[in-house]
């Protein structure tokens, strides 16, 4: 369901008349060459069109490997990955899949290829032979969508980390991708940069219906998603709304995840004997419940 309570995803019908999910991972297992243990072990999950999902999990739990499967950077040894109706093991679809699902990585400096911001955003469409006038239109639109129009002629190395990540996102938008997969995009940013990137992806999701897959170590970021997936030792061990996932204290303890601050406060007070509902989740809710129970 979208935020207004409508079924806003799954709108596109495939040729066979089925409704399409943005990303469908079915019983996937993947082991890196030379490794003995799989990085992804029998994982199934679906990301619906227009959804904002977050993937959580301890270091080495398989999050980035899962992201690589979603973007056809790797293909599973077992199971199938389908992106916008295209299976990632169909090698002739590789570029179409990567254009449909763009990736943003942790280090903003590793993703910028040109010496001027607008040239960087134009790089993707130029590579696939988009006509110059259309490139101009897409670059302007993409920079506007991430709030970076004023920096079009700037040199990327003069930008902040958050601004660089927004340029990277603009580069994906210029390819007209409908899915953006972000692997810890805010890990190297200061609080302001984190805010900028988060606001940008939320706006793209809400206003333009872009599907977002956000891998993060920050629980406060995951709390903003429609649904959260938790990885542990290459397996998917929990999924649900942030409210549901952060209410599962046993799972959080087992996977070594610290819930967002309001949930921690609620848990502490509950342990001290204050009877608070197990799913109070936001600052406001927790404060209200505390006041009520006093």
Q: Which residues bind ligand ATP (CB under 6 A)?
A: 32, 35, 39, 57, 59-65
**CA dihedral sign of residues 66, 72, 73, 79:** positive
**C-beta separation of 254 from 235 below 8 A:** no
Q: How far is the CB of 72 from ligand ATP (least distance, A)?
A: 16
With CB cut-offs between 5 and 8 Å by kind, which of Mg ion, ligand ATP, none does residue 39 bind? ligand ATP
Q: Which residues contact 135 (CB under 8 A, 6 or more apart)?
A: 122, 125, 126, 174
With CB cut-offs between 5 and 8 Å by kind, which of Mg ion, ligand ATP, none does residue 117 bind? none
| Residues contacting Mg ion: total by CB under 5 A | 1
Under the criterion CB under 5 A, does residue 200 sit at the interface with Mg ion? no
**CA dihedral sign of residues 198, 200, 203, 205:** negative
With CB cut-offs between 5 and 8 Å by kind, which of Mg ion, ligand ATP, none does residue 61 bind? ligand ATP
Neighbours of 241 (CB within 10 A): 15
Q: How far is the CB of 178 from ligand ATP (least distance, A)?
A: 24
With CB cut-offs between 5 and 8 Å by kind, which of Mg ion, ligand ATP, none does residue 95 bind? none
157 phi/psi in degrees, rounded to 5: -70, -10
- Looking at the Cβ atoms of 32 and 95, the one nearer to Mg ion is 32
Q: How far is the CB of 64 from ligand ATP (least distance, A)?
A: 3
For Mg ion, which stretch binds (CB under 5 A), given 19-27, 56-64, 188-196, 253-261?
56-64
> Could you give the CA distance from residue 95 to residue 79 in angstroms, rounded to a whole number?
21
> Could you give the CA distance from residue 179 to residue 167 in angstroms, rounded to a whole number?
16
Under the criterion CB under 5 A, does residue 177 sit at the interface with Mg ion? no
- Looking at the Cβ atoms of 39 and 122, the one nearer to ligand ATP is 39
Q: How far is the CB of 133 from Mg ion (least distance, A)?
A: 39
- Token pair for residue 16? 């066979």
* Residue 78: half-sphere exposure toward Cβ, Cα within 13 Å: 11
Under the criterion CB under 5 A, does residue 61 sit at the interface with Mg ion? no
Under the criterion CB under 5 A, does residue 64 sit at the interface with Mg ion? yes
SS3 34: coil
- Looking at the Cβ atoms of 170 and 231, the one nearer to Mg ion is 231
- Looking at the Cβ atoms of 35 and 250, the one nearer to ligand ATP is 35
Count the helices and strands in the chain (H runs, E runs): 11, 10
- Looking at the Cβ atoms of 47 and 234, the one nearer to ligand ATP is 234
54 phi/psi in degrees, rounded to 5: -120, 145
Residues that bind Mg ion (CB under 5 A): 64
């Amino acid at each position: 369901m979208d935020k207004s309570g409508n079924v806003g995803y799954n709108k596109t019908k495939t040729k066979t008349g089925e409704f399409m999910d943005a990303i469908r991972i079915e019983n996937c297992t993947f082991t890196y060459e030379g490794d003995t243990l799989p990085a992804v072990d029998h994982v199934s999950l679906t990301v619906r069109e227009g959804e904002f999902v977050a993937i959580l999990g301890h270091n080495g739990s398989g999050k980035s490997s899962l992201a690589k499967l979603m973007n056809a950077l790797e293909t599973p040894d077992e199971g199938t990955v389908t992106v916008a109706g295209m299976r990632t093991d169909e090698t002739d679809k590789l570029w179409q899949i990567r254009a449909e699902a763009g990736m943003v990585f942790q280090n903003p400096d590793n993703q910028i290829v040109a010496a001027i911001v607008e040239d960087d955003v134009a790089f993707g469409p130029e590579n696939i032979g988009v006509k110059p006038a259309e490139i101009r239109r897409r670059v302007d639109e993409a920079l506007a969508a991430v709030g970076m129009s004023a920096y079009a002629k700037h040199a990327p190395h003069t930008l902040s980390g958050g601004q660089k990540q927004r340029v990277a996102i603009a580069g994906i938008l210029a390819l007209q991708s409908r899915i953006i997969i972000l692997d810890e995009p805010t890990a190297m940013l200061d609080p302001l940069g984190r805010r900028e990137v988060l606001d940008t992806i939320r706006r793209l999701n809400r206003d333009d219906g872009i599907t977002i897959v956000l891998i993060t170590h920050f629980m406060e970021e995951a709390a903003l998603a429609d649904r959260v997936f938790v990885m542990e030792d290459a397996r998917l061990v929990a999924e649900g709304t942030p409210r549901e996932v952060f209410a599962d204290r046993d799972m959080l303890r087992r996977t070594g995840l610290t819930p967002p601050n309001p949930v921690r406060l609620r848990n502490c007070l509950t342990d001290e004997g204050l009877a608070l509902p197990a799913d109070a989740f936001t600052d406001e809710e927790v404060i209200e419940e505390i006041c009520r129970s006093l």
